[in-house]
Chains A and B, each alone.
Chain A
Amino acid sequence: MAGLLAILVGVLFGAGVYLLLRRSLIRLIFGLALISHAVNLLVFTTGGLVRGNPPLVPPEAQVPPAGHADPIPQALVLTAIVIGFGLLAFTCVLVKQVVKTLGTDDTDSMRANEE
């Protein structure tokens, strides 16, 4: 399972980078979204995949049962999803404004300020 997810992470990263390298701003948004998903999946996968063993302490015990799922990567991913969502929302609005102000969504024609 981890191997499969690793390949998926790679595919997501690759697709994201491919979209970033296109000239259209809309594709750039999708590229950033794919990359942020790839990273979340990466963090989740490297944390170790455990099935059906939540890190809950049984009533009579002091520690959760052996081999429990590590909750930290999941907490990290949750935080990262929220942050990523906020950033993506901002990027969408920014792209809308950029297209409105510059009259184009072609990144190659945004070199006006680079001399």
Chain B
Amino acid sequence: MSLLPALPVLVPLSAAALSFAAWKRLAVQQAIGVAGTGGLLAAGVALLAKTAGGAVLVLPVGGWPARFGIALAADTLSAIMVLLAGLMGLAVAVYALADVDRPRKAFGFYPFLHLMLAGVAGSFVTADMFNMYVWFEVMLLGSFVLLALGGERDQMAGAMKYVTLNLIGSALFLSAAGVLYAVTKTLNMGEVSTRLALIAGHHPHLVLALGALFLTSFAIKAGLFPFTFWLPASYATPPVAVSAVFAGLLTKVGVYALLRTFTVVFPVMERNFRILLLLAGITMVLGVLGAVSRFEIRKILSFHIISQIGYMVAALGLSISPDPEIRRLALAGAVFYIAHHIVVKTNLFLVGGVIRRLTGSFDLKRTGGLAKSAPWLAVLFLIPALSLAGVPPLSGFWAKLMVIRAGLSAGEWLLVAAAIAAGLLTLISMVKIWNEAFWKPAPSPAPHPRPGRGTLLAMTAPIAVLALVTVLIGLWPQPLLDVAGRAADQLLDPAGWAKAVAGDLR
């Protein structure tokens, strides 16, 4: 038994505790900020190294057997997610050195960033339904504070919506977990999976109702239609470093929970799963239409998050296909899409922050001339932007290709049409940012002071690293494809996963 599955939780939690201890010393907090998120990344790499072969690492916390205690379990999907959470955490911790202002840091930006990451990583490694609820709450509390930190007008209005919607989502999640326990008499996901498969035979409607409760609560977290509108209203208000880590990770925790719950935990109920395809299609189109009509960089990017969530959920929805080939392709596509999206979306927000630093505004009408004054930024913007739109040979192309191929093989023509249309509109919207911020001449002789070298370096280094990751995945997709395929295999084998997670109780 190794402690490895607990590391993704222990590292950020201790980083948070240390940062709280160093409350008055910002330099120390910043150092812990970078070291702690770096540690999370290292934990993710170590986990992936152990699980990439298809192993499931299980840690029964406290040595209690599965039914009596809480188990942490890391399979390939968990490892990928933890690694990405660490990478995004590190990128944002470095970026925040320059981007987040002093008062915000003095009021606990770094400790709450660690707490939020602990919640995110905890959700990825837990194998207990109620424990997942607890990690969601840890993540939420951290995110509430980060979102409201600074207390500007917009932030307050955004935070109110975010808090309310997420509390309702949590209430639904807790109800679902409680009823799940009443039905199955266990909370260990592996055991739940085995028992639900039996119960679904006698009481399909009970299992269906439970599934609907979980679906609703996770859909609220993920920003899936019809629960989308809180997202642009709140993600566009805090400092870019906060928006970026939210955009990359928080909605993806919702998607991860959907992916985990509706593959290995819940038995597949073919007809009822089609609702996922419908919601995904609407989400894609609705999100991208919102993005096309906006002129504020953060708003545009927030609407694109919604649209992209649609692709990931579509891939999950396609995994009901009777053909095992399509199921594997769809789930591998979902994992690949999540990985690609986390990197690209965080990066685009970070670029948006640099655009504001150089031009003084997030409003595209007031920006311009960056292609001339900052050509390096133009390149760094184009990489994630074209990747988001799915232009080959960048990472987004492979991600979209997998989802669309799975859709074509499954004969879901409407969904494929929606996916392609949303892809085109994404390109239009990215071109709009390019035209307005980079290509057109600067609106007036900019009185805005250019930031210092150190500031620009701290903001640009993470962008460059994430852009490099995007290019590498694009040019050399095979390793990620292999790992995503391995994760899909595990998700397609509920019995094997349940046995690993629940132990040999039965």
Binary B-proximity of A38-71 (CB < 8 A = 1, otherwise 0): 1100110011100000000000000000000010
Interfacial chain A residues near B133, Cβ < 8 Å: 80
A76 in contact with B164 (CB, 8 Å): no
Cα distance A79–B181 when bound, in Å? Answer: 15
- On whether A113 and B236 interact (CB within 8 A), knowing A25-B160, A87-B137, the answer reads yes
A94 in contact with B174 (CB, 8 Å): no
- On whether A73 and B157 interact (CB within 8 A), knowing A28-B164, A83-B137, A90-B141, the answer reads no
Interfacial chain B residues near A102, Cβ < 8 Å: 153, 156-157
A94 in contact with B148 (CB, 8 Å): yes
| Contact among A80, A91, A115 with B167 in the assembled complex (CB-CB below 8 Å) | A91
B178 in contact with A46 (CB, 8 Å): yes
B163 in contact with A91 (CB, 8 Å): yes
- On whether A97 and B156 interact (CB within 8 A), knowing A42-B179, A83-B137, the answer reads yes
Closest chain-A Cβ to B369's Cβ sits at a distance in Å of: 25
Interfacial chain B residues near A114, Cβ < 8 Å: 232-233
Closest chain-B Cβ to A23's Cβ sits at a distance in Å of: 12
CB contacts under 8 Å to B, within A85-115, are 86-87, 90-91, 94-95, 97-98, 101-102, 107, 110-115
Binary B-proximity of A15-51 (CB < 8 A = 1, otherwise 0): 0000010000100100010011011001100111000
A97 in contact with B148 (CB, 8 Å): yes
Interface centre among A20, A95, A98 (most CB of B within 10 A): A98
Whether A11 sits at the interface, judged by CB under 8 Å, is no
Binary A-proximity of B102-133 (CB < 8 A = 1, otherwise 0): 00000000000000000000000000001001
Closest chain-A Cβ to B135's Cβ sits at a distance in Å of: 11
Cα distance A28–B153 when bound, in Å? Answer: 19
Whether B1 sits at the interface, judged by CB under 8 Å, is no
Whether A72 sits at the interface, judged by CB under 8 Å, is yes
Cα distance A114–B161 when bound, in Å? Answer: 11
Chain A residue nearest in CB terms to B232: A114
Interfacial chain A residues near B158, Cβ < 8 Å: 113
Whether B431 sits at the interface, judged by CB under 8 Å, is no
Interfacial chain B residues near A25, Cβ < 8 Å: 160
A72 in contact with B181 (CB, 8 Å): yes
A73 in contact with B141 (CB, 8 Å): no
Closest chain-A Cβ to B226's Cβ sits at a distance in Å of: 16
Interfacial chain A residues near B168, Cβ < 8 Å: 20, 32, 35
CB contacts under 8 Å to A, within B243-265, are none
Q: Count residues of A near B (Cβ-Cβ below 8 Å).
A: 37
B144 in contact with A101 (CB, 8 Å): no
Interfacial chain A residues near B157, Cβ < 8 Å: 98, 102, 110-113
- On whether A94 and B182 interact (CB within 8 A), knowing A80-B174, A87-B137, A87-B141, the answer reads no
A83 in contact with B134 (CB, 8 Å): yes
Cα distance A79–B130 when bound, in Å? Answer: 10
A101 in contact with B153 (CB, 8 Å): yes
Closest chain-B Cβ to A112's Cβ sits at a distance in Å of: 6
B171 in contact with A43 (CB, 8 Å): no
Chain A residue nearest in CB terms to B148: A94
Binary A-proximity of B136-172 (CB < 8 A = 1, otherwise 0): 0100110011001001111011111101100110110
Whether B406 sits at the interface, judged by CB under 8 Å, is no
- On whether A98 and B160 interact (CB within 8 A), knowing A76-B130, A112-B154, the answer reads yes
Cα distance A97–B147 when bound, in Å? Answer: 13
| Contact among B167, B178, B237 with A73 in the assembled complex (CB-CB below 8 Å) | B178
B175 in contact with A20 (CB, 8 Å): no
- On whether A36 and B171 interact (CB within 8 A), knowing A98-B160, A113-B237, the answer reads yes
- 25 A-B pairs within 8 Å (CB atoms) are namely A35-B171, A36-B171, A39-B174, A42-B179, A43-B175, A43-B178, A43-B179, A46-B179, A48-B182, A72-B181, A76-B130, A76-B177, A76-B178, A79-B134, A83-B134, A86-B141, A87-B170, A90-B141, A98-B157, A101-B151, A102-B156, A113-B154, A114-B233, A115-B294, A115-B299
